[in-house]
Chain A
Amino acid sequence: MRFGLYAVVVFASSWVLALPARANAQGAAPRPATAEPASRSAVTPPELTHFESAPYPPEALAARLDANVVLALDIDAAGHVTNATVSESAGHGFDEAAQSAALRFVFQPARRADQPVKSRILYRYSFHFQPPAPAAANAAPKRAGRVFGSVTVAGSKSPLAGARLRFSRAEVVLVERLTDAGGRFDSGELPAGTYRVSIEAAGFDVVGTTEQLTDGEDSELNYGLVPLSSSSGTITVQGTRPTREVTRHAVSRRELSMSPGTSGDALRGIENMPGVSRTPALSGLLVVRGNADQTTPVFVDGLWIPNVYHFGGLSSVVPTEMLDEVNFYPGNFSVRYGRALAGVVDAHLRETRADGRYHGLAQIDLIDARVMAEGPVPGLKGWNFIGGFRRSHIDAWLGPLLNQRDTYITAAPVYYDYQLIFDRRPTPDSYLRIGLLGFDDRFALINKNSATGGKLDTINATIGVGVIYKARLAPDVKLDATVSVARSHQRFALSSSDVDLVAQSVITRGEVAWRLWRGVTLRSGWDVLASPYRAYGAFPDTAGIDAPDIGMSVSLPSNQFNRHALFLNPALFAEMELRPTARWQLVNGVRADYTFEIGRLDVSPRMALRYTLVPGTPSTVLKAGSGLFQQAPDLVAMIVKNPSTQLRSQRSFQNSLGVEQELSAQVKLSVEGFYNLLDNLISAQPNARGVVDYNNYGKGRIIGTELMLRYAADEHFFGWVSYTLSRSERTWVPGQPSRLFELDQTHILTALGSYRLGRGWELGMRFRYVTGNLYTPCRSSLFSSTGTSYVCVQGPLDSERLPAFHQLDVRVDKRFVFASWTLGVYLDLINAYNRKNPDFLQSNYDFSHSQPQSASLPIIPSLGVRGEL
């Protein structure tokens, strides 16, 4: 049985200002605080260079006692402890244990005029009882490492002297350091493990982060603190976090929340990344690298969130304030992700702030209002919580607007979402989170003229509870696991078409990372989805061909399904990461998915390679990737398909090659080419009755290149230019020539920047230019007397384009800082020059005339107010 033992060391002397420095007595050898700004005294205090851990007294151990023993230590000119007397006794054997250990301490002796001298100090040796962690019981003794680096003003090279860093485990501060005049710090020797690091400096936001110290290895970390007067309390960690993917676009919360045109919504900021197609506002579509919609899933803490946007894009269902970071992988992602043909968006919720204080936030804008609270859980030591609630209030103004348009609102357009998270660190090497997430969208309307109008009824609701557990099982073995239970209800009814899905889902994902030896890490895990569901659907028969064009109210469609079934998709994956030298990184992996609904096992091998051609700054990194990505057919295809049709998973063979070039400490250029081959795509073809049937006849090819020129956020500015040039082709029927995919967009350009003007003002702009969408022209028309309507005589499919899209968004922020809280006001001017961007072509009754129509937002000033405690 092992136990945790912590000592808190306090130095005090008559001529030196004491700095509290805390150290782990369990085999650690912490140095006392040395990073204090240079003393003007002629005497330099002694500095502990060798620490001895005291054995826990058996009597105290049995009684589970904590204690502090204050010792008076006499240190000679050589730095050895010549005498240790008890100044404050604790009894129970603590005094003897502390004395015995202290006599073996070694110090850098005190100095006067650079000459070593004898000294006497007071030293507090603290004993903290901690129940042993089972996993740690069998672990080998941990070798020590160091954490060193610098603290600067975020985004700049300006050092921050006097910043206070606290390294803690299990809520106990083990080491505390102040940065020197150059902003540098050094933790000294620390045992391997997970540390909570908090950094404080006057005038800057307090930040907290978690760092992993691996056995025998030192870690260099550079922190950038954001001035209090700026915004949003974000942190930019500039230390290198190794990526397992060829390309990862990681954007800080500040960059996401301050991006113009997104109203501060982090997940909506994904549209600014390279490779992401422009989709109409409020469509909820996410189209990446010329792939279809619904092929780039969004994960939040590893869990897939379908329909991540309220009402197709007003805001995302997870508020920005709850997010730590959003990673976007446009392709060639790790085997830990599956069921995706294109890319992945992986958002992470942040840990609660374990600073013992309560925080609050309230915000309101034209769309919604939200509140959030955060702090320690009363009565539960070590537990913290963060909870939030948001509700839209667009029903207040949209209802009257629609009523003016001959429309009845039967269910006001309302969305709300809520989150409640409890977390703690049971041991220094583990983390536990219990979370409740939920959201609910509801909107229903009918036209006043029920004969020719339509009805629309949408529901998008989910509630779920999830548990996340991360732990170091052994010095070289880490576990990251999640399990969640959720219920979701999604409905979309438009006219006589109706789709209603209710699903209960149990999802568990996990990964074990095992560092086999230096430079070789094996990761393997599981990803299981089990979801009993009820799916109901109804579709008009022979819609569009010789059907009466009498509006959307004709009911009783002839095609219906009502299915109760279990969707079961277990997957296993394994990945080997090799770092033979500091310059090379090779990740090979394989993933196996079994989809019971189609009875198929899909095996997906993948590879990613990174080579640092030029280390240091500015660095040059070459990167390449290749792999197979598979996605099961969607539910409708599996349900509605002809029973005799055996559908297979859709496949994409992705290949990419690129380079990342640092141009300066702030500016980085990334260029990447990609070539994807697709097959087994689900192709929906009408059969003889005009009813759509599904098969795997579709094939495709996507070729393109992406460019990202990025200026990393500093105290004044952040911004980037992203550009994608691509061509996406498909063949839906065997033997037919390939043609452009309907979502193909040749040029996608986004230029974005935000500048802090001072005095709390910040101005941001975003400009986008995108090639117009494809459409199929009508060459002529025929009048169907049976349907009393015209039918289009189509020209070549997707052979013409709408005019290009371009739009400018402007955002102005003003932040007021008060003693204990801040107030932010922002104006997000969407579509500043009110461009009517065409999204589709609308034709007249006989298709003789047509004109582009816009589904994008007109000029909308979005004003928001936000208070933070």
Chain B
Amino acid sequence: MKSPKLLSLGWAAAVLLAWACVLSGCANNFTPQSKIDTLRVIAVRPEPASGAPGRTSALELVVADGASGSADGGAARSLQVVWLAGCHNPPTRQYFGCYPLLGQLAARLSPRAVDTPASSLPPSVFGTGTHYDLVVPGNILSAAPKQAGDTIHFGVSYAFFAVCAGELRPRLSFTDRLPIDCVDPQTGASLGREGFVTGFTTLYSYEGVTNSNPVLTGVHLGSTALDTSACRSDADCAGLVDVALAGFDERCGSQGTCTPVLPACTSGNCAKILITPDVDPASAEPLPGVGANEILWANYYATAGAFEEATELVNDRSTGFIADHGSYFRPPLNSDVPTTVWLTVNDERGGAAFQSFEVWTDAQK
């Protein structure tokens, strides 16, 4: 009994992986993605979220240093940030099409990259710090190739960044990645992932269409909205939540805002609480030519404790907005410093929003 050959879309491979996970649970002992225990880039928020010919988008880099002593109450590490840009509509539209240009730019960097004078590079291709202005050229659309299958004409711009807890130096031998290394200035040894992150952000410029960042209006802990009003003492936060109903209290935190205080853990098993970013459903904008709204998703990070899910879908192209997009958080059992939580909401066209807050437990407070 025969039929045309089964479509070879990795049938066997996919079945294999499915069975493998069924049988083994895909068990591993990796640190979860949501755990901030090293230097991490949480988000890059562009404003505006989409480019346009000749327009500048301000990029805000959100960094968390989980390996810093500050997480344990010590001094924060000094971070260097370098941006390299000027890569627009690269071959294949993909980020790796920028590597030749990045090599050329890196060759003109100073040995200590952050000290590079602006005059040594073309304008608008270099920057330092967590803020960078990405300038979109006037021909971003006219120079962009039109390809079959595109639902809308668009151009694409890339900005690459390097965040380092040591010293950033150009490394021209890196031809398959950002040609910058992060070293210990004393020894010259390269730092690992604990102190070095490289990455890129993508800014799309659409013809006749703009994209907006998702709108994050607040945060819910369980069914109760988190109130992060300014405060000077615990009294300012008293009564903001119904403790019996919410399952947590609010007191004045170290950053001068009201902070949730979760019940102390008992016998090694902390009660988990659902944390949900409040996302305006209108953030899921229509996708021209697709007939659906864009995908939104939320990421969850914490310096201690654990989120059950690191990522949750907020809007699906087919099924629409998903109200139940929160993730359960289980606070740390023993910690003498507050836990910092980051929530980000992203759309598939580069838009982003974020919020962070501290979480205490009764034992700490």
| Contact surface of A with B, Cβ cutoff 8 Å | 280-285, 293-294, 303-307, 311-312, 398, 401-402, 405, 437-438, 449-452, 456, 458, 462-464, 466, 484, 486, 488, 490, 492, 494, 497, 499, 501, 503, 505, 507, 529, 531, 533, 535, 537, 539, 545-546, 548-551, 553-556, 558-559, 567, 634-637, 686, 688-691, 779-780, 782-786, 788, 790-791, 793-794, 839-840, 842, 844-846, 848-849, 851, 853-855, 857-858
Contacts and interface: CB of A to CB of B under 8 A. Distances in A.
Contact of A554 (B4, B19, B23, B317): B317
14 contacts: A282-B16, A312-B15, A450-B313, A466-B1, A499-B7, A539-B9, A550-B295, A554-B316, A556-B290, A556-B318, A782-B177, A783-B197, A786-B349, A840-B17
A537 B9 contact: yes
Contacts of B313: 450-452, 550-551, 553-554
Given A405-B25, A689-B147, A782-B199, A788 B346 contact: yes
Contacts of B4: 501, 503, 505, 531, 533, 535, 567, 635
Interface of B: 1-9, 11-20, 22-26, 28-33, 41, 43-44, 91-95, 145, 147, 149-151, 176-178, 192-193, 197-202, 290, 292, 295, 297, 299, 309-314, 316-319, 322, 324-325, 344, 346, 348-350, 352
Contact of B22 (A402, A488, A537, A846): A402
A851 B309 CA distance: 21
B177 A690 contact: no
Contact of A842 (B28, B91, B150, B310): B28
Contact of B350 (A293, A401, A537, A786): A786
Given A311-B15, A488-B3, A844-B30, A689 B311 contact: no
B91 A688 contact: yes
A535 B9 CA distance: 13
B309 A449 contact: yes
B217 to A, nearest CB: 19
A598 to B, nearest CB: 13
A80 B39 CA distance: 111
By Cβ-Cβ distance, the 3 closest A-B pairs, closest first, are A783-B199, A464-B1, A855-B20
A782 B41 contact: no
Nearest to B18: A456
A170 B312 CA distance: 71
Interface centre among B2, B292, B313 (most CB of A within 10 A): B2
A281 B24 CA distance: 12
B260 to A, nearest CB: 24
A492 B14 contact: yes
A855 B7 contact: no
Nearest to B150: A689
A306 B5 contact: yes
B2 A505 contact: yes
Nearest to A284: B12
B243 to A, nearest CB: 29
A281 B193 CA distance: 35
Contact of A305 (B1, B11, B147, B295): B1
A553 B324 CA distance: 14
Contacts of B311: 452, 549-551, 788
B143 to A, nearest CB: 14
Contacts of A551: 311, 313
A591 B348 CA distance: 52
Contacts of B318: 555-556
Nearest to B93: A688
Contacts of B145: 688
Given A556-B318, A784-B95, A855-B24, A501 B3 contact: yes
A458 B15 contact: yes
B197 A853 contact: no
A172 B290 CA distance: 74
Contacts of B349: 786
A688 B1 CA distance: 40
The residue in A405, A437, A554 that gathers the most chain B C-beta atoms within 10 A of its C-beta is A554
A145 B322 CA distance: 82
A444 to B, nearest CB: 11
Contacts of A545: 94-95
Contact of A635 (B7, B13, B92): B7
A786 B94 CA distance: 12
A846 B16 CA distance: 24
Nearest to A639: B7
Given A503-B4, A555-B319, A556-B290, A784 B16 contact: no
B23 A283 contact: no
Contacts of A555: 316-319
B3 A490 contact: yes
B2 A529 contact: yes
A283 B12 contact: yes
